[in-house]
Amino acid sequence: MQLIIQIAISGLLMGGIYSMVSMGLSLIYGVTGIVNFAHGEFLMVAMFLTWGLNSLLGLDPYISVILVVPLMFLIGMLVEKTVIEPIIKAPHSMQIMATAGLSTVLANGALMLMSANYRSVITGYSSKTLNMAGIMFNVPKLVGFFAAVALTVLLALFLKRTYTGRAITATAQDMKAAQLMGINIKRIYLIAFGLGTACVGVAGVVLMPMYYVFPSLGTYFCTTAFVIVVLGGMGNIYGAFVGGLVIGMVEAFSGYLLAPVYKEVVYFVIFIIILIVKPSGILGRSGRAA
Amino acid sequence: MLNVKDIDVYYGDYQVLHGLTFSIGKGEVVSLVGSNASGKTTLINTLSGILKPKRGEIEFQGKRLDQMETHQIVEAGLIQIPEGRLLFPNMTVLDNLLMGAYSKRARAKVAESLERVYKLLPILEERKKQMAGTFSGGQQQMLAIARGLMSDPDLLIFDEPSMGLSPLLVQEMFQMIEDIKKEGVTILLVEQNVHKALSLADHGYVLQNGVIVMRGTGEELLNNQDLKKAYLGEL
């Protein structure tokens, strides 16, 4: 029993990280309709930033959040302005080429600049664990999980309580109506893309003390994030949060019951089942109707 | 207040509006009638800046609208209540109303505007926490109108407001438009319900295949024999 709880907890904590990556992806899709294939590479960039700030300035990864997140927000807006805005009304095939192309550019750019080496940030708390009633909590994972919860709450409050947040929600629900309310949707796309990218920034920061960064890291997280976004309902950030936790648990249990190498097989089977049984995802879609 | 001069509007290569010219005076109710696919919705989407004219000018309260973005046009006080309502279904009634007051001009008066629409439609206050998507068709139309009023309109454009409503509700809705007129809001009414629309109007225009084929006061058009035959049937 103890073991089952331990596996569930580990899965849940890792799931929190997945949630943060996926929420950004879901937010961007929900508002702009763009499926961002470069999302995983944004995570890679955020982790390299965290690593860089640590190795150059000696900044603790958790402290670097105050720099990394705003930087990622700006990078997201820059990408939106230069890559996304020109193709926002283009056919899906063209949009896919643009974001997939961006993903290749970022991954190979990183390879060129940083080489293919794995890099990590070792901190005093990297391998610390808390023992509560015999259940082990890995400290960085615990921090990651609480960061995910906090991020979800903050994002929800922002979307519900502020004028800009409500304008983002409104744009996701009906773009034409949003325009007719006087919402500058170009600006909303810019902000939504920046926010989605900033979410990955938080994920990158909390991942850095427990994981390593390398140029092709994006691919792995991106596929996982896509499974989660579909699982939770495309465009639904709460769905992405729940979906992330589910996939984290699935991964932990399949690793234990089968073998760690099979975990991807298991969640892709789940992915396919969801696409067949409930393509709108467990929480349905709250974003764009299409 | 609104002067449209000789505009041509295209969907891709296909020309929908041909050299349209008309105007609306302050405080007037102007009705634009015409059958399906005559170009009515195209025209008002052009006024709102969702489509851009290839030729011609649109001037509103001394400002050129034809090159402005939609949100700037809203800021200038030209507000459209779109066909099919286009509410935000997963937002509450109150949030829908607040989105109506998103523009800077409207946000300054949001408390006052809320009071005004609650007075006009008390049901909206009772149900302000309800999701807009759970409203019936008639309630949704009322909410769409209220949301338009929240935008502090100088010119309020209604696109097919009677669509999908029961005769009783249509009656109620036209009454509401009349009340809004009394408050001094200028109104452009686009309707398939020709009789109702023209009886309410100071001026009317008949649109056919993207061309204005008839114009006159509401009463003149109502009594026009050709129009009677074409749209009203034998009354």
- The DSSP bridge partners found for residue B3 are B23, B59
Interface check for B91 against chain A (CB to CB < 8 A): the answer is yes
Between helix B93-100 and helix B110-120 the angle, nearest 10°, is 130
**Residues contacting residue B80 through CB under 8 Å, at least 6 positions apart:** A180, B44, B45, B47, B48, B148, B157, B159
C-alpha distance from B112 to closest chain A C-alpha (Å): 18
**Residues contacting residue B6 through CB under 8 Å, at least 6 positions apart:** B19, B20, B21, B55, B56, B57
Note the pLDDT of residue A235: 85
Is the Cβ pair B88, A179 closer than 8 Å? Answer: no
> Which of A166, A174, A182 is the closest to B74 by Cβ?
A182
> Which of B50, B95, B103 is the closest to A182 by Cβ?
B103
Note the pLDDT of residue A285: 55
Residue A112 CB: number of other CB atoms within 10 A? 9
**Residues contacting residue A128 through CB under 8 Å, at least 6 positions apart:** A138, A139, A140
Q: Give the confidence band of B187 by pLDDT, cuts at 50, 70, 90.
A: very high
Question: What is the share, in percent, of chain A residues with pLDDT greater than 90?
Answer: 76
- Mean pLDDT of all residues in A137-152: 94
CA distance A173 to B85: 13
Q: Give the confidence band of A171 by pLDDT, cuts at 50, 70, 90.
A: very high
CA distance A233 to A26: 8
CA distance B210 to B43: 9
Is the Cβ pair B88, A176 closer than 8 Å? Answer: no
- Mean pLDDT of all residues in B51-73: 95
Interface check for B23 against chain A (CB to CB < 8 A): the answer is no
Q: Give the confidence band of B233 by pLDDT, cuts at 50, 70, 90.
A: low
Residue A23 CB: number of other CB atoms within 10 A? 32
Is the Cβ pair B103, A167 closer than 8 Å? Answer: no
> A18-22, A200-204, A256-260, B58-62: lowest mean pLDDT where?
A256-260
Rg of chain A over Cα atoms, rounded to whole angstroms, equals 19
What are the tens digits of pLDDT across the range B214-223?
999 999 998 8
What backbone torsions phi and psi does residue A264 show, to the nearest 5 degrees? -70, -35
Examine the pLDDT at A207 and tell me if it is beyond 50: yes
C-alpha distance from A30 to closest chain B C-alpha (Å): 13
Which chain A residue is nearest to residue B82, measuring alpha carbons?
A177
Cα dihedral A197, A203, A206, A208, rounded to 10, equals -80
Which chain A residue is nearest to residue B69, measuring alpha carbons?
A184
Note the pLDDT of residue A290: 33
What are the tens digits of pLDDT across the range A50-109?
999 999 999 999 999 999 999 999 999 999 999 999 999 999 999 999 999 999 999 999
Strand A129-132 relative to strand A135-138: parallel, antiparallel, unpaired?
A: antiparallel
Examine the pLDDT at A126 and tell me if it is beyond 90: no
Is the Cβ pair A180, B79 closer than 8 Å? Answer: yes
Residue B152 CB: number of other CB atoms within 10 A? 22
C-alpha distance from A166 to closest chain B C-alpha (Å): 7
In chain B, what is the straight-line distance between the N-terminal and C-terminal CA atoms, in Å? Answer: 35
Note the pLDDT of residue A72: 98
Examine the pLDDT at A286 and tell me if it is beyond 80: no
Mean pLDDT of all residues in chain A? 92
Is the Cβ pair A181, B103 closer than 8 Å? Answer: yes
Which chain B residue is nearest to residue A183, measuring alpha carbons?
B71
Measured between beta carbons, which residues in chain B are less than 8 angstroms from residue A184?
69, 71
What six digits make up the tokens of A171?
Answer: 């744009």
- The residues on A that touch B, with CB distances below 8 Å, are 163, 166-167, 169-170, 173-174, 176-185, 286
Helix (H) or strand (E) holding A79: helix A65-79
- Mean pLDDT of all residues in A214-224: 92
Note the pLDDT of residue B160: 92
Q: Are B76 and B112 in contact (CB under 8 A)?
A: no
Q: Are B150 and B100 in contact (CB under 8 A)?
A: yes
- DSSP conformation class of B132: G
Residue A235 CB: number of other CB atoms within 10 A? 27
- Mean pLDDT of all residues in A29-55: 96
- Supply the ipTM of this predicted assembly: 0.91
Note the pLDDT of residue A265: 87
Note the pLDDT of residue B227: 81
B residues 94..123 contacting A (CB < 8 A): 95, 98-100, 102-103, 106-107
- Mean pLDDT of all residues in A192-197: 97
Q: Give the confidence band of B235 by pLDDT, cuts at 50, 70, 90.
A: very low
